[in-house]
Chain A
Amino acid sequence: MLSMALATRTDRRPSLTRTLWASTIGKKTVMALTGLIMLGYLVAHMYGNLKIFFGPDSFNDYGHWLRVMGEPLLHEKWGLWIVRVVLVVAVVLHGVCAYQLSRRDLAARPSRYVHKRPRASYATRTMRWGGVILALFIVWHVLDLTTGTVHPGGFQPGRPYQNVVDTFSTWYGNVVYIVAMLALGLHVRHGFWSAAQTLGAGSATRDRLLRTTADLLALVLTAGFIAVPVAVMTGVVS
């Protein structure tokens, strides 16, 4: 009775973490969760950026508050560092999973079709390189406006308003930022939809809502972020 033996087997299975990390669905789950963490951060970041339209005092005060948020429960900058650590872990896990899954995906389709035709949407096809572009952008962005290492025209700690105006007064600052934000919009458009499906939220009745939410998030984030360099270029913020 081999079949009954199969039904009653009691062999041990690997742990939850191991099952997840060893499987393609598990790695995609990690990507979905870390992606949603980063997406949540981006919404807050974009919202905070818009304070620049209320003048230098409002924006600089907000910048200072980021350092003291959570007080008195948290010590100065602790809240900031917690956010930073969570984000670094999220970015690294997201990137490692993307790299491992991409290698696997490319190996699973070793030879191409002779007859080529356009496949999938632009946002879907650009996820991998778009992700690499975003990673490079983050490095530049941190060196420019957090550490000031590559900041044009003298970085002034504690005066973010002036630093932002300086960056967007250079042509390359505008180009790099705007291109990266367009890439972000495409990445979020497919990423949010894909994350929802990976986490099992997809269904015939819900898919339309999920797609609309993905489009809306992509649009609002891109427009909200790009508003700042456009405002500096047009002199609305100076």
Chain B
Amino acid sequence: MRLTLRVWRQPDPDTPGAMVTYGIDGISEDMSFLEMLDTLNEELILKGEEPVAFDHDCREGICGACGVVIDGEAHGPERTTTCQLHMRHFEDGATIDVEPWRAGAFPVVKDLVVDRSAFDRIIGSGGYITVPTGAAPEAHATPVPKPAADLAFEHAECIGCGACVAACPNGSAMLFTSAKVNHLGVLPQGAPERETRVLDMVATMDEEGFGGCTLAGECATACPKGIPLQSISMMNREFLRATVRGR
């Protein structure tokens, strides 16, 4: 495959960036999008140019490290992570635009790398259960109803990649936060901190400068793990419940 890439290049957070055009040839349709970028970087290094910086880790679609906006869509045209997106989904000779996640709370570090530590701070404010560490408890000691286990698992699938924020016209982190709140909120292990969790995590989400939800639904469309839009309504319910109960 022969492709034309237009990639966002930005040397550091304080220098304004711009789209730079690169031609690339000999791309196999079986390559992942990241392998295609690797190929581009090899060529750039051989030419003595600065390679394109991008985040990646497991390349199995389970860690949430990778993620770029491809032709205006977070993670590109398929519902998967960027590392699991294959070049066969693009036409030979296509021009592809590659940009970093855009959100006030996700400042660009370099090229396609953004700082997503705001997510860590949301998790740190309540995305856990407080239990003494030690030996694993007896699995049957705490019965979990099957529907609750399914719901928790559905939300636990969130890998925190940030595609929801990147796709949202308001740069909102509601889908991410709701996935975490609902994951722990429906389980008996999460019950003791059910109220403080949602109040603290929403407060941190707001403090970090994420926007509000206008129910545009872009987040759920972009999510590679299929976290549904209803998760947001579920968290709103949890938030209002916790507010009225006074924690």
User: Interface residues, chain A, CB within 8 Å of chain B?
Assistant: 3-4, 6-7, 13, 16, 19-20, 22-29, 101, 104-117, 119-120, 124, 127, 190, 193-194, 196-204, 207
User: Interface residues, chain B, CB within 8 Å of chain A?
Assistant: 6, 8, 19, 69, 71-73, 97, 99, 102-105, 130, 132, 168-172, 192-193, 199, 202-203, 205-206, 209-218, 228-230, 232-241, 243-244, 246-247
* Known contacts A7-B130, A104-B211, A112-B102, A117 near B203 by CB under 8 Å: no
CB-CB nearest 3 A-B residue pairs: A200-B237, A202-B233, A108-B211
Interface contact B97-A114, CB-CB below 8 Å: yes
* Known contacts A116-B72, A117-B73, A120-B217, A23 near B236 by CB under 8 Å: no
Name the prevailing secondary structure of the A interface residues.
helix
Q: What are 21 pairs between A and B in contact, CB < 8 Å?
A: A3-B132, A13-B247, A23-B203, A25-B202, A106-B211, A108-B171, A109-B104, A112-B102, A113-B72, A114-B6, A115-B99, A117-B72, A119-B169, A119-B216, A119-B218, A124-B214, A124-B215, A197-B215, A199-B240, A200-B237, A204-B228
Instruction: List, in ascending order, chain B residues with CB within 8 A of A193's CB.
Output: 215
Instruction: List, in ascending order, chain A residues with CB within 8 A of B230's CB.
Output: 202-204, 207
How far does the Cβ of B140 sit from chain A's closest Cβ, in whole Å? 24
Give Cα A206 to B221, complex, Å: 19
* Known contacts A6-B130, A16-B246, A23 near B103 by CB under 8 Å: no
* Known contacts A3-B130, A7-B193, A120-B217, A108 near B210 by CB under 8 Å: yes
Instruction: List, in ascending order, chain A residues with CB within 8 A of B202's CB.
Output: 23-25
Interface contact A20-B243, CB-CB below 8 Å: yes
Interface contact A26-B243, CB-CB below 8 Å: yes
Most B C-beta atoms less than 10 A away, residue of A22, A29, A104, A106: A104
Give Cα A22 to B239, complex, Å: 13
Instruction: List, in ascending order, chain A residues with CB within 8 A of B229's CB.
Output: 197, 202, 207
How far does the Cβ of A157 sit from chain B's closest Cβ, in whole Å? 42
How far does the Cβ of B68 sit from chain A's closest Cβ, in whole Å? 11
* Known contacts A23-B202, A24-B212, A193-B215, A105 near B69 by CB under 8 Å: no
Most B C-beta atoms less than 10 A away, residue of A107, A112, A115, A193: A115
How far does the Cβ of B209 sit from chain A's closest Cβ, in whole Å? 6
Give Cα A87 to B142, complex, Å: 51
Picked from B19, B103, B237, the residue with its CB within 8 Å of the CB of A108 is: B103
Instruction: List, in ascending order, chain B residues with CB within 8 A of A127's CB.
Output: 214
Interface contact A109-B170, CB-CB below 8 Å: yes
Interface contact B130-A27, CB-CB below 8 Å: no
Give Cα A3 to B126, complex, Å: 12
Interface contact B243-A115, CB-CB below 8 Å: no
* Known contacts A6-B130, A25-B239, A109-B169, A117 near B211 by CB under 8 Å: no
Give Cα A204 to B230, complex, Å: 7
Give Cα A120 to B217, complex, Å: 7
Instruction: List, in ascending order, chain A residues with CB within 8 A of B214's CB.
Output: 105, 124, 127, 194
* Known contacts A3-B130, A26-B243, A114-B19, A197 near B103 by CB under 8 Å: no
* A23-B206, A120-B218 given; 15 more Cβ-contact pairs under 8 Å: A4-B132, A16-B246, A19-B243, A23-B203, A101-B212, A109-B103, A110-B104, A113-B72, A114-B19, A115-B71, A119-B169, A197-B232, A200-B241, A204-B228, A207-B229
Interface contact B236-A198, CB-CB below 8 Å: yes
Give Cα A199 to B233, complex, Å: 7
Instruction: List, in ascending order, chain B residues with CB within 8 A of A199's CB.
Output: 236-237, 240
Give Cα A194 to B235, complex, Å: 14
Most A C-beta atoms less than 10 A away, residue of B193, B203, B212, B232: B212
How far does the Cβ of B212 sit from chain A's closest Cβ, in whole Å? 4
How far does the Cβ of B14 sit from chain A's closest Cβ, in whole Å? 14
* Known contacts A28-B213, A197-B215, A199-B236, A111 near B102 by CB under 8 Å: yes
How far does the Cβ of A211 sit from chain B's closest Cβ, in whole Å? 11
Interface contact B102-A27, CB-CB below 8 Å: no
Interface contact B240-A105, CB-CB below 8 Å: no
Interface contact A105-B217, CB-CB below 8 Å: no
Instruction: List, in ascending order, chain A residues with CB within 8 A of B238's CB.
Output: 200
How far does the Cβ of B222 sit from chain A's closest Cβ, in whole Å? 11
Picked from A111, A200, A203, the residue with its CB within 8 Å of the CB of B240 is: A200
How far does the Cβ of B107 sit from chain A's closest Cβ, in whole Å? 10
Interface contact A107-B130, CB-CB below 8 Å: no
